[in-house]
Amino acid sequence: MRLSTDFSVAIAGAGLSGLCLAQYLMRAGIEVHVYERDPGPFVRRQGYRIILDRYGLAALRESLPRQLYNLALATGDEPGGHLRFTDSRLRDAFTITFKDEPNATRQVDRLTLRSILQSGLNGRIHYGKEAVAVDGGGPSKLRLRFSDGGAAGATVVVGADGVGSALRAQLMPDADPANTPMAGIYGRSPLLRNGESVIPDALRTSGVLAIADQPGRAFFFTPMRFGESPQEAFARLAPGSYAPTGYDYVMWGLLLRQEEVPTGVRGDLLALWRLAARMSADFHPVVRRLVATAELDATVLNLFAAGRRPRRWAVPRATMMGDAVHVMPPFGAHGGNTALRDAALLGRRLVQARANGTPVEQAIADYQDEMVPYAFRAVDTAAGLMRRLTGGAAAPHWVLTRVLPRLHRVTVPEA
């Protein structure tokens, strides 16, 4: 499709939402470029598995060429359908069963999804470009400025540069995220060891949140199985695109209070892994084995934060998406789906504006008016779940860890 050059979009950030929007606009023939502060596409971990719900799947279906959407489905898998809440010895407290229709949700590997979203954007993703500000560039243009002194002109600027966004203070004044008391040390461990699954059969199709005796500490884990090998699926559906090596693994996270993570270890992968091992020492042997067999370079620290509703948008032809606006604690699988939903909505509004002559300022305002309510419902839901599951209220915690597990049979023997 021939690209229109009289209308252009500059996106700061090559995460899920930024790449998804770029795909949407490319399909519609709109000139778009993505500017990413990292020096390359895979230089740092940005999470592991993501469960795509109906909003995330709908956003990908609307944004991607059919073959790339099919590639996302092919490399993903059906989620297990259960989330078990247990005590630290993996004795069941209760289980939530998700009754979605077949194919209504999909678990995908985040690195694989990011590779899919990059496919076909050759020459339009620019690495080593840290966005720092937006300037006026004329009556119908803005300039996205970079830390290296360079700039890119565009009709519309979109900040999709994550929780640490440098653009937020300018575009959304007084809407910096609120800190929370909680943090997570995340890791990834191979699902198979000596040819056998490290996850017992009783837990094969479920995620597990094991709540420790000490309030404010828990351990989450869930397997990620690929439906089709990414390398085989990419060769079939996106030949020539980068296909990450994909093998089944277990994603896990130790949830703890931020005050328990010394400042001096926060950038040290080995120290973080040792901290996770020490603080999971009283959990079930399955949990301890997951930490012991983790890939050290896959260790990630996440200090949980919660976005705050913007009171005003300061630049009419600039807006924001994803964690840059509405970061949320990782409870309920809302974050990635909400970011993808943003991208599809903004893409739709911009394409419609081009087609019917609506002023771009109005299209962006319409996007913001629709995005803020659903996004901050998700923030509130995630923050509420975090408080209920990790809070220090004595009675609920006692029921979860002492009463309910005694009403069930042992799920996973410790021998």
Using 50, 70 and 90 to split pLDDT, how confident is the model at 204? confident
For residue range 139-177, what is the model confidence (pLDDT) as tens digits?
779 999 999 999 999 999 999 999 999 999 999 999 999
Its sign, for the CA torsion 88, 91, 96, 97, is positive
Its sign, for the CA torsion 84, 85, 88, 92, is negative
User: In this structure, how many other beta carbons lie within 10 angstroms of the beta carbon of residue 374?
Assistant: 15
Predicted confidence at residue 325, as pLDDT, reads 98
Q: What percent of the chain has pLDDT over 70?
A: 89
Q: What is residue 223's three-state secondary structure?
A: strand
Q: What percent of the chain has pLDDT over 90?
A: 73
Residue with the two structure tokens 């915690």 = 397
Rounded to whole angstroms, the Cα distance separating 54 from 69 reads 14
Average pLDDT over residues 354-358: 93
The first and second tokens of residue 118, run together, are: 């990059």
Using 50, 70 and 90 to split pLDDT, how confident is the model at 83? confident
The first and second tokens of residue 250, run together, are: 């277990």
Rounded to whole angstroms, the Cα distance separating 395 from 260 reads 23
Predicted confidence at residue 401, as pLDDT, reads 53
Q: Where are the beta strands (DSSP E) in 191-328?
A: 192-193, 196-197, 206-211, 218-224, 249-257, 300-306, 318-320
**pLDDT at residue 414 tops 80:** no
**pLDDT at residue 394 tops 70:** no
Average pLDDT over residues 206-215: 87
pLDDT: is 245 or 328 the higher one? 328
Average pLDDT of the chain to the nearest whole number: 90
**pLDDT at residue 100 tops 90:** no
Residue pair 101/137 in contact by the 8 Å Cβ criterion = no
Rounded to whole angstroms, the Cα distance separating 231 from 414 reads 37
Residue pair 328/382 in contact by the 8 Å Cβ criterion = yes
**pLDDT at residue 392 tops 70:** no
pTM of the model: 0.93
Across 375-404, b (16+ Cβ under 10 Å) vs e yields: bbebbeebbebbbebbeeeeeebeebbeeb
Average pLDDT over residues 351-373: 96
User: In this structure, how many other beta carbons lie within 10 angstroms of the beta carbon of residue 312?
Assistant: 9
For residue range 22-68, what is the model confidence (pLDDT) as tens digits?
999 999 999 999 999 999 887 766 668 899 999 999 999 999 999 99
The first and second tokens of residue 21, run together, are: 């929007």
Average pLDDT over residues 259-269: 94
Q: Find the Cα–Cα–Cα–Cα dihedral 149, 152, 157, 161, rounded to 10°.
A: -50
Q: 29-38, 84-93, 251-260 — which is least confidently predicted?
A: 84-93
Predicted confidence at residue 405, as pLDDT, reads 57
Q: 36-40, 138-142, 276-280, 288-292 — which is least confidently predicted?
A: 138-142
**pLDDT at residue 99 tops 90:** no
pLDDT: is 313 or 49 the higher one? 313
Predicted confidence at residue 143, as pLDDT, reads 96
**pLDDT at residue 397 tops 60:** no
Average pLDDT over residues 372-386: 95
Average pLDDT over residues 211-216: 86
For residue range 2-27, what is the model confidence (pLDDT) as tens digits?
555 589 999 999 999 999 999 999 99
Predicted confidence at residue 398, as pLDDT, reads 45
Rounded to whole angstroms, the Cα distance separating 95 from 205 reads 12
Across 267-294, b (16+ Cβ under 10 Å) vs e yields: eebeebbebbbebbeebbebbeebbeeb
